[in-house]
Amino acid sequence: MDPVRRTDDLVDSLGAWSTGNGALHRRLSHSLRELVDQGTLVPGERLPSERGLAAALRVSRTTVVSAYDHLRVEGVLESRQGSGTRVCGSRAPVRSDGWSANGTGDPIYRNLLQTDENLISASCLRTPGLAGVEQAIREVTAEDLPALMAEGNYHPRGLPALREAIARHYEHQGLPTHPDQIVVTTGAHQAVALVAQLYLRQGSLVVAEDPSFAGCLDLFRDRGAGIRPVPLDDQGIDPNGVRRALSETSPHLLYVMPSYHNPTGTMMSSARRRELGELSARHGVPILEDSAYTGLRAPDEPPPLAAHAPRGAEVVTVDSLSKVGWAGLRLGWLRAPAEMALRLSRRKVLADLAGPLLDQAVGVRLLDRYAQLARERSEGLRVALDHMEGLLRRDLPEWRWRTLEGGAALWVQLPGTSARAFAQVALAHDVELVPGPVMSAAGDDRHDAYFRLPFAYDRATREELVWRLARSWRELDRHGPVQDHPDALVV
């Protein structure tokens, strides 16, 4: 049976398609052609109807008809009576873009590759470097460079001094750790990818919070795993839902974000962490504890879930310095039982042999000052959050969001409309949003009224962002349904 592209999936894959210059239908045809050339849209795949895609993109039907017609003339698309519009069966991809064929491709990461100076992107969280990071870099180059240059070992598991510093970091949090339990990675994303490679295969099942972080869900799905979604309450993932999932299925992994859940910012209680650890030990299901989403922090943050787990529970804890110190310092790590850390380090060798020693030397110094850095980052984000909430209450009083316990983004609920529809209108005003369904572990529209709104911008950008959002909201409310006239966005 020929593959059929879901309209919402295609909209997600298109990303910030409407930005730039030229007629709107030309921009759409260019973006569709890129998806075909990259192999995201595969030969024989049927595209949504003109009317359906126009409604999803909040443009006139004429815009989509013109884009499809243009691609038919170029031989990219073909149409047959009763069969709809498809990618030409004879057309091979020019290259692979790294996304799985016939998959959506996570727009959070896809949009990192797109640049437009007029666009305010709220698809990724921003972490500019703190002064302490620059100081650590200067100290390393002034004091540590000769010893680093004399190193004759790649240190695939990580620079020994850094693994020792990470172990001390966990000791201070109440989690006894030996350096042999640590593997240093190129950011937390690589750590999650290594765990997925070790634990998951085609047909595996992952129990995950719903909503969850789209980037990690994509890593699991890329391994051929299915996702069993479990909702959250104000203490974290619902333990009854986890208990049912573990009893009714045989999952290979339980994926949770206990501290500052992404995207809701929920802090999992100590009791809930202990309960999950006990369930892991009882059912023999490993836990992947993702602790990398920090920023704004609570003063009474509990120790990691691994510290609450009983003997016999297999917990892999992932963290990084990116959200605390600087996003440009791609330095993460994982903590696991020693035998699993060894297995994961072998995966690390296959991925890139080892991480840069210079970055790791900087990490040693930053971990020795971690508390100071975390406090400075949190204080700065508290000011940013207060400012953002004040702007939203003034300009968008109808919107709702929960009180944030930590993290760097609000989980905003829109009244009476789809976040997907609003994201398309906002895109016409040069704002890029991630609608809730993109972060659905269930892969459906149950979070369609929500979107994630980061606030870690400078003051001027926050003011401009909210001004554009308010303008988009007013015009969406004013204009309502799509009007069928050429190249007109409904805004």
pTM for the full model? 0.84
Q: Is the pLDDT of residue 463 over 80?
A: yes
Distance separating alpha carbons of residues 350 and 193, to the nearest angstrom: 12
- Whether the Cβ atoms of residue 243 and residue 276 lie closer than 8 Å to each other: no
Give the pairing of strands 120-121 and 315-320: unpaired
Q: Is cis: bond before 211, omega within 30 of 0?
A: yes
Q: Is the pLDDT of residue 136 over 60?
A: yes
DSSP 8-state code for residue 450: E
Q: Is the pLDDT of residue 314 over 90?
A: yes
Q: Is the pLDDT of residue 169 over 70?
A: yes
Q: Is the pLDDT of residue 104 over 80?
A: no
* Cβ contacts of 468 within 8 Å, gap of 6 or more: 120, 426, 429, 430, 431
- In the structure encoding, which two tokens stand for residue 402, read together? 């929960």
Q: Is the pLDDT of residue 184 over 90?
A: yes
pLDDT of residue 353: 92
Mean pLDDT of the chain: 90
Q: How confident is the model at residue 305 (pLDDT cuts 50, 70, 90)?
A: very high
Alpha-carbon 431 to chain mean position:
18
Tell me the β-bridge partners of 452. 411, 434
pLDDT tens across 439-456, in order? Answer: 999 888 889 999 999 999
3-state secondary structure 117-147: CCCEECCCCCCCCCHHHHHHHHHHHHHHHHH
pLDDT of residue 93: 60
Q: Sketch out the chain's domains with CATH numbers.
A: 7-105 (1.10.10.10), 131-371 (3.40.640.10), 375-479 (3.90.1150.10)
Q: Is the pLDDT of residue 112 over 60?
A: no
pLDDT of residue 21: 79
Nearest one of 92, 11, 90 to 55, comparing CA atoms: 11
- Phi-psi label, residue 414: left if phi above 0, alpha if psi -120 to 50, beta otherwise: beta
Distance separating alpha carbons of residues 432 and 343, to the nearest angstrom: 39
The C-alpha angle with vertex 466 and arms to 63 and 456, in degrees rounded to 5, equals 110
* Cβ contacts of 196 within 8 Å, gap of 6 or more: 219, 220, 222, 223, 225
Q: Is the pLDDT of residue 111 over 70?
A: no
Q: Is the pLDDT of residue 349 over 70?
A: yes
The C-alpha angle with vertex 448 and arms to 204 and 386, in degrees rounded to 5, equals 105
pLDDT of residue 100: 45
Average pLDDT of the segment spanning 335-357? 95
Distance separating alpha carbons of residues 35 and 14, to the nearest angstrom: 8
Average pLDDT of the segment spanning 272-287? 97
Average pLDDT of the segment spanning 167-179? 97
pLDDT tens across 366-381, in order? Answer: 999 999 999 999 999 9
Residues 64, 70, 76, 79, Cα dihedral to 10°: 70
Q: How confident is the model at residue 107 (pLDDT cuts 50, 70, 90)?
A: low
pLDDT of residue 83: 77
pLDDT tens across 188-229, in order? Answer: 999 999 999 999 999 999 999 999 999 999 999 999 999 999
Q: Is the pLDDT of residue 486 over 50?
A: no
Distance separating alpha carbons of residues 206 and 106, to the nearest angstrom: 18
Q: Is the pLDDT of residue 167 over 90?
A: yes
Q: How confident is the model at residue 481 (pLDDT cuts 50, 70, 90)?
A: very low
